[in-house]
Amino acid sequence: MLELRDLTKTYRTGDKALAEVSFTVPKGQVVGLIGPSGAGKSTLIRCINRLVEPSAGKVLLAGSELTGLSAGALRRQRRRIGMIFQEYALVERLTVMENVLSGRLGYVNFWQSFTRRFPAADIERAYRLLDRVGLIDHADKRADALSGGQRQRVGIARALSQEPELLLVDEPTASLDPKTSRQIMRLIIEICAERGLPAIVNIHDVPLAQQFMQRIVGLRAGRVVFDGPPADLTEAA
């Protein structure tokens, strides 16, 4: 479970990007984070993985606090958080398999992945993940030979190869066509349910969020202005 308690971020410029944001995400649940540009969605995601330092409040993952950790301790804790990106962030010249395996190293050592030897267990896990995301026949292809939807499937498998306890997903379908977007959203939600993974998906496509999410959190000017099932959002809008 992920728990945010009064998470607050004021940038040095004085912009109050988050104001006392509190909500919890239980295991297996995918929360769609929506809100207009500048609402604080990116800041929220960055405060959880501490790419941005929160000004106040707490982030707890499975009961342990991520806020307030030293840099070294944080690096270890980041392994617990899987990231999926809008533009996939694959290493284009590496194979699908190598990209998935790079998740085991963490993002800091990304470039070492093709010179490192991996334990057999990691390779077996990577094959199982590629099978799950429907790319088993593409394991040896270079990432730059894939379609957008296939690349995002690699991004999902790479995040899972870390065996994370939380997924943070930043606009995963922003570069994809509508049909592929629906397939990718469905896959993320199924996988989180199967694995009991909590997830936050920053999603600017509100109809897509309404179609797939059990729960939507709406941000506006750094505050939670909606938290509930998509059906209620329709009534509120």
Task: Identify the H or E element spanning 121.
Answer: helix 120-132
Here the tokens at position 78 are 């980041």
**Please, what is the minimum distance in Å from the beta carbon of residue 43 to ligand ADP?**
3
- The two tokens of residue 130 are 């590629």
Question: Which CB atom, from 160 or from 222, has the smaller least distance to ligand ADP?
Answer: 222
* Nearer to ligand ADP (CB atom), residue 161 or residue 173: 173
Q: How far is CA 210 from the centre of its chain?
A: 18
Task: List interacting residues with ligand ADP (CB under 6 A).
Answer: 11, 13, 15, 17, 35, 37-43
Min separation Cβ 196 and ligand ADP, Å: 27
Closer CB to ligand ADP, 1 or 56, in the complex: 56
Q: How far is the CB of 203 from ligand ADP (least distance, A)?
A: 11
Q: How far is CA 235 from CA 12, 33, 96, 140, 231, in A?
A: 38, 18, 43, 48, 7
CA distances to 44, 109, 186, 222 from 106, in Å: 21, 6, 26, 30
Q: Identify which of residues 48 and 101 has a Cβ nearer to ligand ADP in the complex.
A: 48
As measured in angstroms, the least distance from the Cβ of 225 to ligand ADP is 12
Strands 2-10 and 56-61: antiparallel
Nearer Cβ to ligand ADP, position 11 or 111?
Answer: 11
- Give me the residues paired with residue 8 across strands: 56
Q: How far is the CB of 66 from ligand ADP (least distance, A)?
A: 18
